[in-house]
Protein backbone atom coordinates (compact mmCIF):
# COMPACT_ATOMS: atom_id res chain seq x y z
CA UNK A 1 0.00 0.00 0.00
CA UNK A 2 1.29 3.41 -0.88
CA UNK A 3 1.07 6.28 1.56
CA UNK A 4 -1.69 8.74 0.66
CA UNK A 5 -1.01 12.41 1.43
CA UNK A 6 -2.92 15.67 1.09
CA UNK A 7 -1.46 19.13 0.37
CA UNK A 8 0.51 20.39 3.37
CA UNK A 9 1.30 16.96 4.83
CA UNK A 10 4.77 16.65 6.32
CA UNK A 11 6.77 13.95 4.50
CA UNK A 12 10.41 14.09 5.53
CA UNK A 13 13.35 16.10 6.85
CA UNK A 14 15.61 15.11 3.94
CA UNK A 15 15.49 18.43 2.08
CA UNK A 16 18.15 17.40 -0.46
CA UNK A 17 15.95 14.57 -1.70
CA UNK A 18 12.86 16.70 -2.24
CA UNK A 19 11.52 16.08 -5.75
CA UNK A 20 8.45 16.70 -7.87
CA UNK A 21 5.13 17.34 -6.14
CA UNK A 22 6.76 18.56 -2.93
CA UNK A 23 7.83 21.88 -1.48
CA UNK A 24 10.38 22.79 1.16
CA UNK A 25 9.69 25.10 4.07
CA UNK A 26 11.82 25.67 7.16
CA UNK A 27 13.99 22.65 6.41
CA UNK A 28 11.10 20.25 5.96
CA UNK A 29 9.55 18.56 2.96
CA UNK A 30 5.77 18.88 2.50
CA UNK A 31 3.34 17.49 -0.08
CA UNK A 32 2.04 19.84 -2.74
CA UNK A 33 -0.55 17.46 -4.16
CA UNK A 34 -3.25 15.07 -3.12
CA UNK A 35 -1.60 11.81 -4.12
CA UNK A 36 0.79 9.05 -3.11
CA UNK A 37 4.39 9.31 -1.89
CA UNK A 38 7.18 7.71 -3.91
CA UNK A 39 10.44 7.61 -1.96
CA UNK A 40 12.53 5.33 -4.16
CA UNK A 41 15.20 7.84 -5.15
CA UNK A 42 13.89 11.34 -4.71
CA UNK A 43 10.92 12.07 -2.52
CA UNK A 44 8.07 12.61 -4.94
CA UNK A 45 4.34 13.02 -4.63
CA UNK A 46 2.46 11.53 -7.57
CA UNK A 47 -0.95 13.22 -7.82
CA UNK A 48 -4.04 11.07 -8.42
CA UNK A 49 -5.24 13.34 -11.20
CA UNK A 50 -4.04 16.53 -12.84
CA UNK A 51 -3.54 18.37 -16.06
CA UNK A 52 -0.74 17.39 -18.41
CA UNK A 53 2.05 19.96 -18.71
CA UNK A 54 3.88 19.64 -22.05
CA UNK A 55 7.65 19.42 -21.88
CA UNK A 56 10.33 19.09 -24.53
CA UNK A 57 10.84 15.56 -25.84
CA UNK A 58 7.47 14.14 -24.76
CA UNK A 59 5.60 12.02 -27.27
CA UNK A 60 1.90 12.85 -27.23
CA UNK A 61 -1.28 11.94 -29.08
CA UNK A 62 -3.02 15.05 -30.35
CA UNK A 63 -6.19 15.94 -32.18
CA UNK A 64 -6.34 18.61 -34.86
CA UNK A 65 -8.86 21.23 -33.76
CA UNK A 66 -8.13 24.12 -36.07
CA UNK A 67 -6.25 24.96 -39.23
CA UNK A 68 -4.62 28.35 -39.12
CA UNK A 69 -2.09 28.80 -41.90
CA UNK A 70 0.78 27.88 -41.59
CA UNK A 71 -0.11 25.86 -38.48
CA UNK A 72 -2.35 23.05 -37.45
CA UNK A 73 -3.65 23.75 -33.94
CA UNK A 74 -3.61 20.56 -31.90
CA UNK A 75 -5.42 19.61 -28.70
CA UNK A 76 -3.01 17.60 -26.54
CA UNK A 77 -5.19 17.00 -23.44
CA UNK A 78 -3.54 19.90 -21.64
CA UNK A 79 -4.53 23.48 -20.68
CA UNK A 80 -2.34 24.60 -23.56
CA UNK A 81 -2.93 24.09 -27.26
CA UNK A 82 -0.02 22.91 -29.36
CA UNK A 83 0.83 23.81 -32.93
CA UNK A 84 2.25 21.83 -35.78
CA UNK A 85 3.97 23.87 -38.45
CA UNK A 86 3.39 23.15 -42.12
CA UNK A 87 7.10 22.45 -42.62
CA UNK A 88 6.94 19.65 -40.02
CA UNK A 89 4.99 17.59 -42.56
CA UNK A 90 7.84 15.51 -43.93
CA UNK A 91 8.44 15.08 -47.64
CA UNK A 92 5.73 17.47 -48.71
CA UNK A 93 6.53 20.83 -50.21
CA UNK A 94 3.27 21.44 -52.02
CA UNK A 95 1.33 22.31 -48.88
CA UNK A 96 -0.29 25.65 -49.35
CA UNK A 97 -2.79 27.99 -47.74
CA UNK A 98 -5.78 26.31 -49.33
CA UNK A 99 -4.93 22.62 -49.13
CA UNK A 100 -3.69 22.04 -45.58
CA UNK A 101 -6.85 20.07 -44.79
CA UNK A 102 -6.03 17.50 -47.46
CA UNK A 103 -2.99 16.45 -45.42
CA UNK A 104 -4.46 16.70 -41.93
CA UNK A 105 -8.07 17.66 -41.37
CA UNK A 106 -9.92 18.81 -38.27
CA UNK A 107 -10.59 15.83 -36.01
CA UNK A 108 -7.60 13.79 -37.23
CA UNK A 109 -5.41 12.18 -34.60
CA UNK A 110 -1.64 12.41 -34.73
CA UNK A 111 1.32 11.08 -32.80
CA UNK A 112 3.78 13.91 -32.30
CA UNK A 113 6.84 14.88 -30.33
CA UNK A 114 7.06 18.13 -28.38
CA UNK A 115 10.07 19.89 -29.89
CA UNK A 116 9.81 23.12 -27.96
CA UNK A 117 7.88 24.99 -25.30
CA UNK A 118 8.49 28.64 -24.38
CA UNK A 119 7.62 31.07 -21.61
CA UNK A 120 4.51 32.16 -23.51
CA UNK A 121 3.39 28.52 -23.24
CA UNK A 122 3.52 28.03 -26.98
CA UNK A 123 4.02 24.36 -27.71
CA UNK A 124 5.60 23.22 -30.98
CA UNK A 125 5.16 19.71 -32.30
CA UNK A 126 6.85 17.49 -34.86
CA UNK A 127 4.96 14.68 -36.53
CA UNK A 128 6.20 11.17 -35.75
CA UNK A 129 6.09 9.39 -39.08
CA UNK A 130 6.36 5.85 -37.73
CA UNK A 131 2.91 6.13 -36.19
CA UNK A 132 -0.02 6.98 -38.38
CA UNK A 133 -3.28 6.61 -36.58
CA UNK A 134 -5.71 7.19 -39.40
CA UNK A 135 -9.07 5.69 -38.55
CA UNK A 136 -7.84 2.31 -37.28
CA UNK A 137 -8.10 1.23 -33.67
CA UNK A 138 -9.38 2.90 -30.58
CA UNK A 139 -8.35 5.80 -28.35
CA UNK A 140 -8.73 5.82 -24.59
CA UNK A 141 -7.81 8.53 -22.14
CA UNK A 142 -6.53 8.21 -18.56
CA UNK A 143 -4.98 10.76 -16.17
CA UNK A 144 -1.43 11.41 -17.39
CA UNK A 145 -0.10 10.72 -13.87
CA UNK A 146 -1.00 7.03 -14.31
CA UNK A 147 1.08 6.55 -17.46
CA UNK A 148 4.15 5.14 -15.62
CA UNK A 149 1.90 2.51 -14.00
CA UNK A 150 0.54 1.39 -17.39
CA UNK A 151 4.08 0.98 -18.67
CA UNK A 152 5.30 -0.72 -15.49
CA UNK A 153 8.84 -1.21 -14.29
CA UNK A 154 11.08 -1.42 -17.36
CA UNK A 155 7.98 -1.82 -19.51
CA UNK A 156 6.84 -5.05 -17.82
CA UNK A 157 3.15 -4.15 -17.61
CA UNK A 158 2.75 -2.89 -21.16
CA UNK A 159 4.69 -5.87 -22.52
CA UNK A 160 2.39 -8.28 -20.74
CA UNK A 161 -0.70 -6.44 -22.02
CA UNK A 162 0.55 -6.52 -25.60
CA UNK A 163 1.36 -10.24 -25.41
CA UNK A 164 -1.86 -11.34 -23.77
CA UNK A 165 -4.27 -9.15 -25.70
CA UNK A 166 -2.47 -9.59 -28.99
CA UNK A 167 -2.92 -6.00 -30.02
CA UNK A 168 -0.79 -2.96 -30.60
CA UNK A 169 -0.79 -0.51 -27.69
CA UNK A 170 0.76 2.93 -27.81
CA UNK A 171 0.90 4.94 -24.60
CA UNK A 172 1.55 8.68 -24.97
CA UNK A 173 2.87 10.95 -22.23
CA UNK A 174 -0.34 12.98 -22.08
CA UNK A 175 -2.41 10.00 -20.97
CA UNK A 176 -3.90 9.09 -24.33
CA UNK A 177 -3.59 5.48 -25.36
CA UNK A 178 -4.04 4.15 -28.85
CA UNK A 179 -5.05 0.51 -29.31
CA UNK A 180 -5.02 -1.40 -32.59
CA UNK A 181 -5.85 -5.04 -33.12
CA UNK A 182 -8.83 -7.34 -33.18
CA UNK A 183 -11.99 -6.35 -31.34
CA UNK A 184 -11.83 -8.78 -28.40
CA UNK A 185 -8.21 -8.05 -27.62
CA UNK A 186 -8.90 -4.33 -27.58
CA UNK A 187 -11.90 -4.81 -25.31
CA UNK A 188 -9.81 -6.66 -22.75
CA UNK A 189 -6.89 -4.25 -23.06
CA UNK A 190 -9.14 -1.21 -22.61
CA UNK A 191 -10.83 -2.69 -19.57
CA UNK A 192 -7.54 -3.68 -17.93
CA UNK A 193 -5.95 -0.31 -18.63
CA UNK A 194 -8.85 1.51 -16.98
CA UNK A 195 -8.57 -0.88 -14.04
CA UNK A 196 -4.86 -0.11 -13.69
CA UNK A 197 -5.62 3.61 -13.79
CA UNK A 198 -8.24 3.22 -11.05
CA UNK A 199 -6.06 1.09 -8.81
CA UNK A 200 -2.69 2.68 -9.58
CA UNK A 201 -2.12 3.53 -5.92
CA UNK A 202 -2.38 -0.07 -4.71
CA UNK A 203 0.48 -2.56 -4.59
CA UNK A 204 0.73 -5.96 -6.23
CA UNK A 205 -1.01 -4.59 -9.28
CA UNK A 206 1.14 -6.39 -11.85
CA UNK A 207 0.28 -9.76 -10.28
CA UNK A 208 -3.41 -8.99 -10.25
CA UNK A 209 -3.36 -7.89 -13.87
CA UNK A 210 -1.47 -11.04 -14.82
CA UNK A 211 -4.06 -13.10 -13.01
CA UNK A 212 -6.94 -11.43 -14.81
CA UNK A 213 -5.29 -11.81 -18.19
CA UNK A 214 -4.43 -15.46 -17.51
CA UNK A 215 -7.74 -16.66 -16.19
CA UNK A 216 -9.97 -17.57 -19.04
CA UNK A 217 -13.14 -17.26 -16.96
CA UNK A 218 -12.36 -13.75 -15.85
CA UNK A 219 -11.73 -12.83 -19.45
CA UNK A 220 -15.29 -13.83 -20.14
CA UNK A 221 -16.41 -11.75 -17.20
CA UNK A 222 -14.67 -8.72 -18.64
CA UNK A 223 -16.43 -9.27 -21.94
CA UNK A 224 -19.80 -9.39 -20.21
CA UNK A 225 -19.11 -6.14 -18.44
CA UNK A 226 -18.34 -4.44 -21.71
CA UNK A 227 -21.43 -5.80 -23.46
CA UNK A 228 -23.69 -4.33 -20.82
**Are 179 and 137 spatial neighbours (Cβ–Cβ below 8 Å)?**
yes
Residue 48 is a binding residue for another protein (CB under 8 A): yes
In the bound complex, what is the minimum distance in angstroms from residue 198's beta carbon to another protein?
8
Q: Could you give phi then psi for residue 15, rounded to 5 degrees?
A: -60, -35
Please give the residues from 176 up to 205 whose contact with another protein meets the rule CB under 8 A.
199, 201-202
- Rounded CA Rg of the chain: 20
Residue 42 is a binding residue for another protein (CB under 8 A): no
Among 15, 17, 34, 39, binds another protein (CB under 8 A): 34
Among 15, 53, 128, 195, binds another protein (CB under 8 A): 53
Buried/exposed 54-87: b ≥16 CB within 10 Å, e otherwise = beeebbbbbbbeebeeebbbbbbbbeebbbbebe
* Options 26-34, 127-135, 168-176, 183-191: segment touching another protein (CB under 8 A): 26-34
From the number of C-beta atoms within 10 Å of its C-beta (0-12, 13-18, 19+), residue 224 rates as exposed
* Options 64-72, 79-87, 170-178, 183-191: segment touching another protein (CB under 8 A): 79-87
Of 20, 42, 17, give the one whose Cα is nearest residue 31: 20
**Are 179 and 161 spatial neighbours (Cβ–Cβ below 8 Å)?**
no
From the number of C-beta atoms within 10 Å of its C-beta (0-12, 13-18, 19+), residue 161 rates as buried
* Options 75-83, 85-93, 100-108, 130-138: segment touching another protein (CB under 8 A): 75-83
In the bound complex, what is the minimum distance in angstroms from residue 195's beta carbon to another protein?
11
Please give the residues from 92 up to 151 whose contact with another protein meets the rule CB under 8 A.
119-121, 143, 145
Q: Could you tell me the CA-to-CA distances from 41 to 8, 16, 87 in Å, in that order? A: 21, 11, 41
Q: Which CB sits closer to another protein, 33 or 164?
A: 33
How many chain residues bind another protein (CB under 8 A)? 30
- Give the residues lining the site for another protein (CB under 8 A): 1, 4, 6-8, 21, 23, 30, 32-36, 47-51, 53, 79-81, 119-121, 143, 145, 199, 201-202
Amino acid sequence: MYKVVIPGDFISDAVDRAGEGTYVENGKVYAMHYGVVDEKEEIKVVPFVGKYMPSKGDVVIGKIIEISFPYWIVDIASPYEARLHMSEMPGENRIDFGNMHTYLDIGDLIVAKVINTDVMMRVDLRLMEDFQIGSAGRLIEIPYTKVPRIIGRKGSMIKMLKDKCKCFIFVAKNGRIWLKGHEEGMNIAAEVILMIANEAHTSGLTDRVAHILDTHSSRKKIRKVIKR
